[in-house]
């Protein structure tokens, strides 16, 4: 950081707050800038456009340092609140959040479910519509409480259905119950 601080006069008017080392997000941004600069200037075919882009990114990081990461630190460092990782209640609320809450069911039943499936979430009405229309199916008694819909597996939760993302579980589900038509549909969704 000595070289960019001196070369780009980052200490002038505290463009880069002195407490930058106490702001983890800012450290990540600066590290990414360094990696990008190394890649640009050590390339066998240097690019003037890439160098200009890097300088534009530098200005954005400097702006973010003063307005986002260290806002209010001009008169002395102000610590961030307790890390979210330590707040078990907040972690629980986040993990239980419904990513499509407030979206009208009419949008789901009108065939817009594929857009929400991209978020790994389906509502109960979407699943019911998919099952009724043949776009989804339950594999049978050996696998209760799961469905195959939009080319992947889903399991129920309180407010809807979440997509199965564990690779091991997916492999077991695919091996044990996919018909040839299911396998074609699954591959088509990939």
What average pLDDT score do residues 152-159 get?
A: 81
Quick: pLDDT tens for 93-124: 877 776 656 655 555 455 445 555 656 778 88
Long-range contacts of 120-127 (CB under 8 A, 24+ apart): 120/162, 120/163, 120/165, 121/160, 121/161, 121/162, 121/163, 122/149, 122/150, 122/154, 122/160, 122/161, 122/163, 123/159, 123/160, 123/161, 124/159, 124/160, 124/161, 126/160, 126/161, 127/154, 127/160, 127/161
Q: Shortest CA distance to 77 belongs to which of 28, 14, 119?
A: 14
Q: Which of 12-16, 52-56, 153-157, 184-188 has the highest mean pLDDT?
A: 52-56
pTM of the predicted model, to two decimals? 0.47
């Amino acid at each position: 950081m000595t070289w960019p601080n001196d070369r780009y006069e980052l200490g002038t008017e505290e463009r880069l707050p002195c407490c930058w080392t106490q702001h983890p997000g800012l450290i990540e941004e600066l590290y990414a800038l360094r990696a990008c600069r190394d890649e640009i200037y050590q390339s066998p075919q240097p690019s003037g456009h890439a160098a200009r882009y890097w300088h534009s990114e530098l200005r954005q990081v400097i702006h973010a340092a003063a307005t986002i990461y260290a806002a209010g630190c001009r008169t002395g460092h102000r610590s961030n609140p307790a890390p979210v990782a330590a707040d078990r209640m907040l972690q629980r609320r986040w993990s239980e959040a419904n990513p499509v809450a407030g979206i009208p069911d009419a949008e789901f039943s009108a065939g817009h479910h594929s857009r929400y499936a991209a978020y790994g979430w389906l509502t109960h009405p979407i699943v019911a519509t998919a099952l009724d229309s043949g776009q989804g199916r339950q594999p049978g008694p050996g696998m209760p409480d799961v469905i195959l819909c939009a080319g992947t597996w889903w399991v129920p939760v309180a407010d809807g259905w979440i997509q199965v993302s564990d690779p091991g579980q997916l492999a077991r589900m695919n091996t044990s119950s996919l018909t040839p038509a299911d396998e074609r549909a699954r591959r088509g969704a990939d």
